[in-house]
Chains A and B, each alone.
Chain A
């Protein structure tokens, strides 16, 4: 069965510092991968997605993610974090026509 692992439950970075959120997936074929962001008490907003082609994907709000098949990873990155980026981030993969989510990573930004 398809699964997604986000190894880091919490991450704290200083404002202006770079960010990398890890995501590993388990899927037999070429995966469709997503990153979503959730602010407290809100629904999910799509940051970016990977279906095929260029393995470096650009998203909204300055985020990017790189698909590495050899590592079964789809890590999310941002060069310079802003205080407004504090939220919970979910990695997801399509499996069996359903979206399977990781446990999420809570990002805290300190000034």
Chain B
């Protein structure tokens, strides 16, 4: 299957700092990528839809100024958690939509990034 890579796999930062997480589709061009957040023992919560060359679409309740998403190329989307606080600690997972995926909804997921804010 297609490969989606996330980096870093885990990161620890101090409260008040910003952290950037990268999501790359390695073997296909993804015009659309999605960012999810997963709390311990819970399902994935969609945060935002990232479209190449345009602004991201955020889900209700997600602060767009706190979670900055950039999709500058067809293979890279970044999520920046700004002024991180301990409550932002979570597992963040990205996914990329392959060609034709807009119809089927099929996605390929990254390995996830665990953020711990001290």
Contacts and interface: CB of A to CB of B under 8 A. Distances in A.
Contacts of B61: none
Interface residues of B, number: 23
A36 B105 CA distance: 13
Contacts of A90: 43-44
B106 A41 contact: no
Contacts of B108: 46
Contacts, number: 51
Label chain A's interface by main secondary structure.
strand
A49 B112 contact: no
28 contacts: A32-B104, A32-B106, A34-B105, A36-B109, A41-B91, A41-B112, A42-B112, A43-B93, A43-B109, A43-B110, A44-B93, A46-B1, A46-B106, A46-B108, A90-B44, A94-B105, A97-B102, A98-B49, A98-B105, A99-B34, A99-B46, A99-B95, A99-B105, A99-B107, A101-B43, A102-B43, A103-B43, A104-B42
Interface of A: 32, 34, 36, 41-46, 49, 51, 90, 94, 97-99, 101-104
